[in-house]
Structure 1
Amino acid sequence: MPAPLPRLIIEPAVRRALEEDLGLAGDVTANAVIPADHRSTVVMAVRKEGVIAGLDAAALAFALIDPEIRMARHVEDGETVAAGATIATVTGPSRALLTGERTALNFLGHLSGIATVTRSIVDAVAGTGASIVCTRKTTPGLRALEKYAVKAGGGGNHRFSLADAVLIKDNHIAIAGDIQTAILRAKENAGHMVKIEVEVDTLEQLEQAMAVGVDAVLLDNMTPETLRRAVAIVGGRAVTEASGGITPETARAVAEAGVDLISIGWLTHSAPVLDIGLDYKNAGD
């Protein structure tokens, strides 16, 4: 289980989602149909096997609507659960439960979907020595939560922001003039704590990058055979990262080429939601 995110990081995203859903008049349906003093117990159940992530966000969605709501967890983030499993029991004022339901499930389903697909790729490369990492291809405003979900699935995180490290990509190289000029300028201007990675498309570019030295190389859209040659050229002098169109079917061959990292953008931008529902059980205490 990854270390939980501080509430200070989670709350702004959850609060924005609730504000969006409540509109200017609140939940007119629950307020009209449900008596104000009615209490209920509901359960969160998964419809399909998957890895859970986002329980803190779901709990906060309910708590921000009504602090009387109590959510008892039966699993923790990072756990794999079978279809039909109950992952939490939620008790409190019925109106508030129904008002917070969709926001809680949106976070939980989305983040659990990311954790689930991450785990599938992590399992696919098990034993190779390669680690799976995400990218900055995240939903605006949800980066911290989505990267947390990747960790819940057993993966790791690439940069959180542009300020984390220097990553020289093809457009930087094109504008700078050539790869070595770009790297040397980065070395001149980056602080001593800032690592430098460069993206290369060919083995010739890789040779040029290694001639001046970098901390990491991003090997973009290379076949497994070319990746093997690239790893041999690097010879342990830099971290090797493979990226570009990697799927569950191709991930193991990429990993077996000897790279240290495999970065995959679709873990966060295209993961299918894990279907989780909220089911009414009975009147609450």
Structure 2
Amino acid sequence: MSRKRPTIADLRAMKGKRQLTMLRVMTLEEAEAAERAGIDIVSIPPDLMLNPEYRDAAPTLFSMPGDNFFEIGTADDFVRWAFRLYKAGADAVYCSASYATVKAMADEAIPVIGHVGLIPSRATWTGGFKAVGKTAQSALDIMDAVRKYEAAGAFGAEIEVVPVEVAKAISERTSLFMLSMGAGTGCDAQYLFAEDILGQNRGHMPRHSKVYRNFAAEYDRLQQERIAAFTEYRQDVESLAYPEDRHVVHMDPTELENFLKALDS
């Protein structure tokens, strides 16, 4: 049986009933792979959402484009940005800007996903890239942020690197659809980056990431093959082994004779 793309109403109806899967994908190929693998939700760059080939590759993925708030601008800029993406087939948009900006989009019936816990673009306020919500007060601060998102009209929120007990307690007490990145199974969906799953990331691996393939090694192998191919090409040119007769075209002998006579006349 073929599946259909879930709506906001569908996701709300599934809240608390089963774990959904979510990926951050960056390319059309990754989106197509997520579609064929049966992934439920993807976060994507806005430019990918605007690619006319995207929905052919990923017809049933609940797709959420997002960008850093400082790349977009004011609340009015966000509304225009969101409408453009919504028109292109987005199901929701990610926004870590102000609650007023979230409200401006929600007031136009645009489904918005916010962000609580460790928010990379604002990590300086919570002590850098580390877990948030490990004390009662900081956990209450996260709950307060969730309540503010509710009041602003957001549909859901990513909750990142928060103790599992805190994330579960918050998810049970909010109507928001909660996307867990390193916050345990007490939320509504598990969220990982495709580059981590595929082993493309050569730098620091987050605690919550899990590597399923080693693309970095494959890329290294392909780079060595690339260098070898370019070297062989250079050697063929230098030794006159390239081009061979099969790589060029020849002129009819009579036409060639007429051409050469004309050149010399």
* TM-score using structure 2 length: 0.39
Task: Say which structure, 1 or 2, has more relative contact order (CA 8 Å, 6+ apart).
Answer: 1
Of structures 1 and 2, the larger Rg is shown by 2
Structure showing the higher helix proportion among its residues? 2
Structure showing the higher strand proportion among its residues? 1
